[in-house]
Structure 1
Amino acid sequence: MAKPAERSAARLAAVQALYQMEVAGKGVTDVMAEFESFWMGREVEGVTFGQAENSFFRALLVGTVEQQRAVDPAVDTALSAGWPLARVEAVLRAILRAGAYELAFRKDVPARVVISEYVDIAHSFYSGDEPGLVNGVLDSVAREARPGELPERSGRAASKAGT
């Protein structure tokens, strides 16, 4: 069984690969090979990239791309009105897509773990409101994709999430 740190590194690598696919226009096969050969488990320009569970990285990356037509509407529904996923910055969009994919299609991982992991990834890129946005959006996606798995929201949290 993979160590939690290897799963976390796989999630981060999947988000970075999704971002790179979008900005560089590369295909999933090319990006996957590049990350596995040159990034994961290596030090690049003074930055150490953690050793990732390759099979989980591949499953997240390929799954997110293959299920994007199901994932994007789920994220759009969870975002505030007037802010469709297409208007969200590219790194944040990659985080939301990967998290929503995992919530909807990888039910072997508890929803709380998925949400926490992607909030942590958001913290590694952003210092503003973005991690809170990731938390709120993925919480909403989880409640749709996995009814009953998360505890009921308290009155204050429920009203805050609805705004």
Structure 2
Amino acid sequence: MSGHSRALEEVPEVSEAPRPDAQAIASRRAARLAAVQALYQMEMTGSSAATATDDLLAGRLPVDDQGVIDADVDSDLFRQIVEGAVANQSAMDTIIAGKLASGWKLERIDAVARAILRAGLVELWRRRDVPTPVVISEYIEIAKTFFDGAEPSFINATLDACVRSVRDSEPA
């Protein structure tokens, strides 16, 4: 593994899982969106991970550009993303910052985009049972719910550049 990923706690390899059904896909998508919203809430309000996760799981469902997501949130995935992002934020921010264009600092990036990058990176690192293209595609779609401009392409390029830092065995 690269020097940056050594700062991340080791995660056991997960064997390939069976293909999820439509309901499971929707539940995971809702979990990813909820995780991004929780990470954003934590950054903007200073609330704890426990408060943010409890708020979202207690009925404040994730909202996309068309309203409330009509799917059950995969609470295990949601918590895994939020807790992983919180526990490893410094290491992940170092990885992300190392992939930004010269002169760019992580703090310069929109807070929602930072939350998307952190959630995507922790899922790439912790959920090896989910193929890299699936993870990146999911976070591009989440970015599209928040942004109309170049941000989804930026999310794509940045997550793609970060892959080798957390998934040595997969090509970017």
| TM-score of the pair, normalised by structure 1 | 0.84
1:102-121 pair list within 5 angstroms: 102-121=123-142
Specify the alignment match of 1:158 in structure 2: none
Indicate if the aligned counterparts of 1:74 and 1:100 stay in contact, CA closer than 8 A: no
Superposed displacement of residue 4, structure 1:
0.9
Which one of the candidate residues 47, 67, 84 is aligned to 1:47? 67
Between the two proteins, the alignment pairs up a number of residues equal to 148
Superposed displacement of residue 148, structure 1:
4.6
Specify the alignment match of 1:150 in structure 2: 171
Task: Give, in whole Å, the separation in 1 of the partners of 2:72 and 2:104.
Answer: 35
Gap runs ≥5 in structure 1: 152-163
1:124 paired with 2:145, answer yes
2:168 maps to amino acid: P
1:83 paired with 2:101, answer no
| Identical amino acids, percent of aligned pairs | 42
Specify the alignment match of 2:122 in structure 1: 101
- Following TM superposition, the consecutive aligned residue runs of length 4 or more in structure 1 with deviations greater than 6 angstroms are none
**Higher deviation after alignment, 1-10 or 53-62:** 1-10
Specify the alignment match of 1:159 in structure 2: none
1:30-69 pair list within 5 angstroms: 30-40=51-61, 47-49=67-69, 50-69=71-90
1:4 paired with 2:13, answer no
Task: Give, in whole Å, the separation in 1 of the partners of 2:126 and 2:24.
Answer: 21
Gap runs ≥5 in structure 2: 1-19
Q: Deviations over 1:18-54 (max 9, x none)?
A: 001111110000111110002238x8xx932332101
| TM-score of the pair, normalised by structure 2 | 0.80
Taking only aligned residues, the RMSD between alpha carbons, in angstroms, comes to: 1.9
Q: Deviations over 1:129-160 (max 9, x none)?
A: 00000000000111332235236xxxxxxxxx
1:48 maps to amino acid: V
Task: Give, in whole Å, the separation in 1 of the partners of 2:136 and 2:112.
Answer: 16
